[in-house]
Homo-oligomer: A and B are copies of this chain.
Amino acid sequence: MLEIAGKKFTSRLLAGTGKFGSYPQMEEALLASGTELVTVALRRAEPNDRSDGILSYLAHAHINLLPNTSGVRNAAEAVFAARLGREALETNWIKLEIHPDPRYLLPDPVETLKATEELVKDGFVVLPYIHADPVACKRLEEAGAAAVMPLGSPIGSGNGLRTIDFLEIIIEQSRVPVIVDAGIGAPSHAAHAMEIGADAVLVNTAIAVAGNPVSMAAAFRMAVESGRSAFESGLAGKSGTAIASSPLTAFLNE
């Protein structure tokens, strides 16, 4: 079972809340996904108005909030935002996203490490979004990150696990959960991440902008379970040479 910072999760699918057509649709999709950990941009969460803002649609017993710092550009902004969020949302969990470049939204490894160190000291449970960089992930782990969230491919690209060579090293070396974030554009990508041993995946765009976000969420739920089960069942290695499934005999000529 997935365990982050001492908390156990049945579901290995983390979900995002951006880009849905409406809050009710988002809510229905999140329920269909089976997710127990949902990330929400701090600026979208308006805690004072729980009655009809996004938070009211997330108010389910099995759903835990994971506020994210999307939009901040350096460690100082991230720490400030995280503290505001903790007070407002009454959780010390934080998905740390620091991306100085507004175009590609790729994470800054230096600022992310700095903010992680500071937030951990301050009692936060920190889940940093980071490049699929094994050394950066190891340093974040050493700084006290509760999990690492390396990207599969550029955010929003839906290109799947382009960083697989590095994800495999990260998974091999990590002592904290590895959650593949960004680039997962189809259930097959999510299954793939689980098959190579990732502990969880985070999906947002691929569900939110699907033709039918609710059934797509259910599809991702199955894919994650399938991939995890395959990992645990022991996938046969890839072989360079062809091996027949069926007995190879010219049976008519014996």
Chain A residues within CB distance 8 Å of chain B: 16, 18-19, 41-44, 68, 70-73, 77, 80-81, 97, 99-110, 113, 131, 133-136, 138-139, 153-159, 162-166, 169, 173, 185-189, 191-192, 195, 204-206, 208-213, 215-216, 218-220, 222-223, 225-227, 229-230, 232-252
Contacting A159 at CB < 8 Å: which of B162, B206, B212, B238? B238
Query: Chain B residues near A154 (CB, 8 Å)?
Result: 165-166, 169, 242
Q: A126: shortest Cβ distance to chain B, in Å? A: 16
Known interface pairs A187-B195, A222-B222, A222-B229. Does A243 touch B162 (Cβ–Cβ under 8 Å)?
no
Q: Is the CB of A110 within 8 A of B107?
A: no
As for how many copies of this chain the complex holds, the number is 4
Q: Is the CB of B191 within 8 A of A211?
A: no
Taken together as a complex, chains A and B put the C-alpha atoms of A124 and B30 apart, in Å, by 48
Q: Is the CB of A70 within 8 A of B248?
A: yes
Taken together as a complex, chains A and B put the C-alpha atoms of A32 and B225 apart, in Å, by 15
Contacting A135 at CB < 8 Å: which of B99, B157, B173? B99
Query: Chain B residues near A135 (CB, 8 Å)?
Result: 99-101, 106-109, 131
Query: Chain B residues near A109 (CB, 8 Å)?
Result: 109-110, 133, 135-136
Known interface pairs A41-B247, A210-B236. Does A133 touch B159 (Cβ–Cβ under 8 Å)?
no
Residue of B nearest to A132 (CB): B131
Q: Is the CB of A235 within 8 A of B156?
A: no
Query: Chain B residues near A108 (CB, 8 Å)?
Result: 135-136, 139
Query: Chain B residues near A16 (CB, 8 Å)?
Result: 245-246
Q: Is the CB of A250 within 8 A of B72?
A: yes
27 contacts between A and B (CB under 8 A): A18-B246, A41-B251, A71-B251, A97-B246, A104-B134, A106-B133, A108-B135, A108-B136, A109-B133, A131-B133, A154-B169, A157-B240, A157-B242, A158-B239, A162-B162, A163-B163, A185-B235, A185-B236, A186-B191, A186-B235, A187-B191, A187-B226, A210-B236, A212-B234, A219-B226, A222-B229, A223-B230
Q: A187: shortest Cβ distance to chain B, in Å? A: 5
